[in-house]
Structure 1
Amino acid sequence: MNTRKPIFPWVVFGYNILVILWGAFVRATGSGAGCGAHWPTCNGEILPRPEAVETVIEFVHRLTSGAALVLVVALVVWTRRRYARGSLIRWGAGLSLTFTVTEALLGAGLVLFGLVADNDSAARAAVMAGHLVNTFMLLAFLGLTGWWVMFGEPHRLRWRGWRSLSVLLGALGMVLLGASGAITALGDTLFPSSSLVEGFQADLSETAHFLIRLRVIHPVLAVVVSGFILLVALAQFRGERHGPTSKLVLAVRGLVIAQLFLGGLNVILLAPVWMQIVHLLVADLIWAGVVILFGITLGEAAERASDDAVHDPVK
């Protein structure tokens, strides 16, 4: 029997992570207006002349985002050729494509409506938070697709009471935490502090910009959501001692603890660009892990192992 595990879905997942991190680099360096108020062209040109580093950074992001769309389309085609109609894997790939398209539209909206560079409006904050939620949904379905391809899709999905609810609450907490993190990162980018004391004083000032005053929400949410995931959500898998699920639980637990440390370090170091990107990377991985665990709580035993889960191709 062929025991090779198909890795193509994970390649697509990993590549999208890189594109997301580069997008964070675009925001953190203030390069969102590098192509002017033009989309999909850059400064009105298909191949712009790199007269400024911001233009290069933004244009690279657009190129890599376009390649991500091609990869997700390829994933949809790959799953349709390999799995039967009605397969959860096909649904996962299809929804990944949906959120890839909305991801591009949100990015276009940021550019076309001028919600980039030094824009500090409430509209930009709202769209940034929505952009993060859409990114999370994209990673959720890419992650579930990869997991089901590698370890087999369930016969069906069924609600499992408190076991499912606790992990779902952890995932919803991650959504709120991620959205608040996007707003906090925007505030750190637009209103950097020169010292830790100055930052705390600004956070508590009634006259400070709303993006600064909102920064205190994120660390509080981080402690609450992380504690819930560690003490409640992951406790539902206490009986898992072997296999991929137990390894995933261990990975999520380690990442959550590491993220708390990284969050504190991010505050102490005054949110340098490289730390913001590392912080986002770990957040994305935790999110994907929690969503996959939620899928596991809903699914019955997989029909067969990874390559045995392949159905007859649709003709």
Structure 2
Amino acid sequence: MSATKSSRAYRVFSWFTLAYTLAVVLWGAFVRATGSGAGCGDHWPVCNGEVVPRAPNLQTLIEYTHRLTSGLALVFAVVLCVWGLRAHAKGHPVRKPAVFSLVFMLTEAAVGAGLVLFKMVAGNESIARAFWMAAHLLNTFLLVGAIALTAWWAEGRERLSWRRQGLTGGLLLGSLAGLLVLGVSGAIAALGDTLFPATSLAHGLSQDVSPTAHLLLRLRVLHPVLAVLVGAGVVFSAAMVARLRPSPAVRRGALQLGVLYGLQLLAGTVNVVLLAPVWMQLVHLLLADLVWIVLIRLCAAGLALGVPRADVKVRAEPSLT
């Protein structure tokens, strides 16, 4: 295979791996939302003490399917990493995110195993489970971000640098931190919806403000507030970056981020009004992942070494004449 064809094949495979990983993440959310996390008991990697369950119920099938698809995602991550290292010379920007894709896939599996082995699934209402869910969400975002960067640089894009990035670097770093905090609050809110389903919108609101309600319910109200505040900051920052780093890729990324975040707020509102049905939770999570991916791409485009900079002075190279 020629170098050009190999590069094109790797680019396609990296995008395929990203899409497949998102599908596995959504199925994992389906496992949580349907209370199927204990479908294989507290056994891992086997399912109820068996490699292949012989008389599975629906919850077992849901959980077992998630384990199988997660295992295949790990295989893809290994291929992405090994292929990326072999096909790209030292110093190529693809290499680091390809390695981190595998690292975060392994830690994703470790967190998933911990949830099962420590019984942080099904009807477990402990605060410890909330911490586990937060860790799971953070690792998932890092995993998805690493694969997205691998795909981005597999397209031949220029590497990025955080040094001497002026206001742009601060805006993008703040946006990344804001979305991570928002994602954690969303994971906790989703857990509260699963464990303490509301029978009506009024019932759900009363749960949120009741002083005797479970802590997960009282924390749930923070998510929509953060969604509005963080969203305003992220969209404003993206618009500012598009002005400070005037390149087509940056402008396109800022526009995509604004549109997707608007859809995300709409989906969140519908999710609350409809009392968080499973299908709407999955749509909401998918949009959250897409917002994160677009922000990662915006960072890569805005912090690229060759992009025009209106917010920092670039030192001129010494003249040879």
Instruction: State whether TM-score is above 0.5.
Output: yes
Secondary structure at the aligned position of 2:221 is classed as helix
Q: Deviations over 1:96-123 (max 9, x none)?
A: 1110000000000000000000001000
1:62 match: 67
Compare 77-86 and 243-252 and name the one that shifted more. 243-252
Secondary structure at the aligned position of 1:33 is classed as coil
Say whether the 8 Å CA contact 1:33–1:116 is kept in structure 2: yes
1:260 match: 265
Structure 1 position 122 matched with structure 2 position 127: yes
Letter in 1 for 2:301: I
Say whether the 8 Å CA contact 1:157–1:300 is kept in structure 2: no
Q: State the shift of 1:50 in Å.
A: 4.2
Q: How does 1:14-25 map to 2 (within 5 A)?
A: 14-25=19-30
**2:97 counterpart (73, 89, 92):** 92
1:146 match: 151
Secondary structure at the aligned position of 2:155 is classed as helix
Q: Distance in 2 between matches of 1:158 and 1:241?
A: 19
Structure 1 position 170 matched with structure 2 position 184: no
Letter in 1 for 2:283: V
Say whether the 8 Å CA contact 1:33–1:111 is kept in structure 2: yes
1:285 match: 290
Q: How does 1:219-238 map to 2 (within 5 A)?
A: 219-238=224-243
Q: Distance in 2 between matches of 1:167 and 1:86?
A: 24
Say whether the 8 Å CA contact 1:36–1:111 is kept in structure 2: yes
Letter in 2 for 1:112: L
1:43 match: 48
**1:180 counterpart (182, 185, 207):** 185
Q: State the shift of 1:294 in Å.
A: 1.8
Q: State the shift of 1:240 in Å.
A: 6.4
Say whether the 8 Å CA contact 1:157–1:299 is kept in structure 2: no
Secondary structure at the aligned position of 1:234 is classed as helix
Compare 243-252 and 184-193 and name the one that shifted more. 243-252
Structure 1 position 75 matched with structure 2 position 53: no
Letter in 1 for 2:76: L
Q: State the shift of 1:157 in Å.
A: 5.2
Say whether the 8 Å CA contact 1:167–1:234 is kept in structure 2: no
Q: State the shift of 1:248 in Å.
A: 2.4
**2:201 counterpart (188, 196, 204):** 196
Name the TM-score, length of structure 1 as normaliser: 0.91
Q: State the shift of 1:155 in Å.
A: 7.2
Say whether the 8 Å CA contact 2:235–2:254 is kept in structure 1: no
1:30 match: 35
- What runs of 5+ residues in structure 2 fail to find an aligned partner? 308-321
Q: Distance in 1 between matches of 2:114 and 2:270?
A: 33
Letter in 2 for 1:178: G
Letter in 1 for 2:183: G
Moved over 6 A (4+): 239-242
Say whether the 8 Å CA contact 2:29–2:282 is kept in structure 1: yes
Q: Distance in 2 between matches of 1:272 and 1:222?
A: 19
Letter in 1 for 2:200: S
Using CA pairs under 8 Å that are at least 6 residues apart, name the structure with larger relative contact order, 1 or 2: 1
Name the TM-score, length of structure 2 as normaliser: 0.90
Q: Distance in 2 between matches of 1:230 and 1:37?
A: 43
- What runs of 5+ residues in structure 1 fail to find an aligned partner? 303-315
2:314 match: none
Q: State the shift of 1:234 in Å.
A: 3.2
Compare 156-165 and 5-14 and name the one that shifted more. 156-165
Percent of matched pairs sharing the same residue: 49
Compare 154-163 and 255-264 and name the one that shifted more. 154-163
**2:139 counterpart (134, 138, 144):** 134
Say whether the 8 Å CA contact 2:160–2:303 is kept in structure 1: no
Q: Distance in 1 between matches of 2:220 and 2:78?
A: 37
